[in-house]
Amino acid sequence: MSAQVMDDEDGFQSIAWDDAPPKLPHLDVSSPIDDDHGFETISPVPQSPGSPSTSTANNDTPRAPRRTLPAKLEEVDPAEWGGRWMSVEVYSPMKEHDGTKDMFVSYAVRTKTNLPTFRTSESVTRRRFQDFVFLHDHLAKNFPASVVPPIPDKHRLEYIKGDRFGAEFVERRRQDLQRFADRIARHPTLQRSKLVYDFLTSSEWSVAKHHHLAHPPPDSHTSLLDSLSDTFINAFSRVRKPDARFVEMAEQLERFEEGLGGVERLMGRSKNRVDDLAADYQDMAAAYQGLGYLESGITEPLNRFAEKMLDFSALLKHMNATTLEPFLLQSHSLLTHAAAHRGIIKLRDQKQLDFEELSAYLSAIVSERDRLAALSSGHAGAPVGLTTYLRDQVDRLRGTDDIHTRRERMRKLDGRIKELQDAVTNAHETSTAFSDEVLKEHNVFELSKKEEMKEMLQTYADGQIEMFQKAMDDWDKIIPILQKIRVDI
């Protein structure tokens, strides 16, 4: 894996390393994709209905429903697609080594794309959850300036109860992995990485994993001590000159998280109330059935009415399971995605803080060198701080405050100044390039968030409309029967 210097339009390669697949005979995959084919690749790829699968699901695990996507590419605005698209479908969970201690669940992963970095337009592989974790962790290392989508963690109650192979848990995890794959497919940088290419297409994934482990990016060789020292030094420091663009960006994310968090809490209460309402309708249906046995003349209409109440109760539960629960899961996933983006903004502030701290240190060293030069020439030095004053007094008491000592210190300070100037220049370039990359990442996140919010709200609205339409049809059928009831007074 080698780093390549590219212009600003293609990203900052000292932050996000270019590890595209090797050049193919008929395609130039080493050439970067133009800006016209960058952030606009947010929409999913059109799926052909009824495409065959190379794997079958195990009877113990549910088959994932196929997503409905545009049937024709012409139906989508070309300006939005930018001519490049990718779709990744995670489906058909299947138990491997069933009945043994090594049992795990694998998922079929189908990829369709017209990206030139892929040898074929469609490929199908099978990956387990640990493979998705490997992909996430190494993307985060290889692309520290990119908002790598979060992966569902393993700290769940099902791992304690031993129910992680249950159909409900497996389906929920498949949905989480599907969202992770969708975000990767919509990301113009991550979708072209060599690691993603191997994950989606390699038939020898274990070999590819070892290759990526053996060739980490150069930045990953930073020692643990260096990382800890940077963290501790700057843990309580704040940027002296905050960039208004990133301040507004962080505030915008905070407002989004606060608003979506409020919606999530409201939907949670709504789900509980719908569950309670469904239970009330069940109790009311039982009461009407009992009343029907007491009133011999209207037993049949009342029993029919009780049946419709039971149907409506089941309809409410179905709406909760297919509409409200997916909404809550997706909104929580979107909040974790926003938190990952906020982490990148904090990392950018860290880069700027490194530059400011180095600049301040360089300024202090230059001031000290100028003061010593002024003393050597017989002029009064500039005002000094308490530390410098005490050190000068100690030197005088020791008898070391002479011209030779000052010249030796000046020589050392000159060497330190040269090193710091280079370090400040590198820190400034890194901070600037990282900032440019974060701005691009923000555009990617906003487009992805727009797509997910649209899909989430549309699914919720469709579920509500479907539930109320079925309820109206059922009640329209029972109302004429109730109207025929005649009671003699």
- Please compute the mean of the pLDDT values over residues 13-41 and round it to a whole number: 37
Query: Given this model, what pLDDT does residue 426 score?
Result: 93
Class at the top of the CATH hierarchy for domain 264-489: mainly alpha
Question: Which residues are CB-contacts of 265 (< 8 A; sequence separation ≥ 6)?
Answer: none
- Of the pLDDT bands very low, low, confident and very high (cuts 50, 70, 90), residue 34 is very low
pLDDT, tens only, 271-293:
999 999 999 999 999 998 888 78
Q: Do domains 8-213 and 264-489 have the same CATH topology?
A: no
Q: Angle between the 167-186 and 325-376 helix axes, to the nearest 10 degrees?
A: 50
Which range is most confident: 18-22, 351-355, 385-389?
Answer: 351-355
Q: How far apart are CA 105 and CA 275, in angstroms?
A: 31
Query: Given this model, what pLDDT does residue 482 score?
Result: 83
Query: Given this model, what pLDDT does residue 102 score?
Result: 84
The residue ranges of every structural domain in the chain are 8-213, 264-489
Beta bridge partners of residue 122, listed in sequence order: 112
Residue for token digits 């926003």? 338
Provide DSSP, 276-314.
Answer: HHHHHHHHHHHHHHHHHHH-GGGHHHHHHHHHHHHHHHH
pLDDT, tens only, 415-457:
889 999 999 999 999 999 999 999 999 999 999 999 999 999 9
Q: Look up the CATH number of domain 8-213.
A: 3.30.1520.10
Query: Given this model, what pLDDT does residue 65 score?
Result: 41
pLDDT, tens only, 84-143:
789 999 999 999 888 788 889 999 999 999 988 898 899 999 999 999 999 999 999 999
How many other CB atoms sit within 10 Å of the CB of residue 404?
8
CA atoms 151, 154, 157, 158: torsion sign: positive
Q: How far apart are CA 50 and CA 175, in angstroms?
A: 20
- Look at residues 151, 154, 47, 53 and name the one whose alpha carbon lies nearest to residue 94: 53
* 63 has pLDDT over 50: no
Query: Given this model, what pLDDT does residue 50 score?
Result: 38
* 66 has pLDDT over 90: no
pLDDT, tens only, 196-225:
999 999 999 999 999 988 888 765 444 333
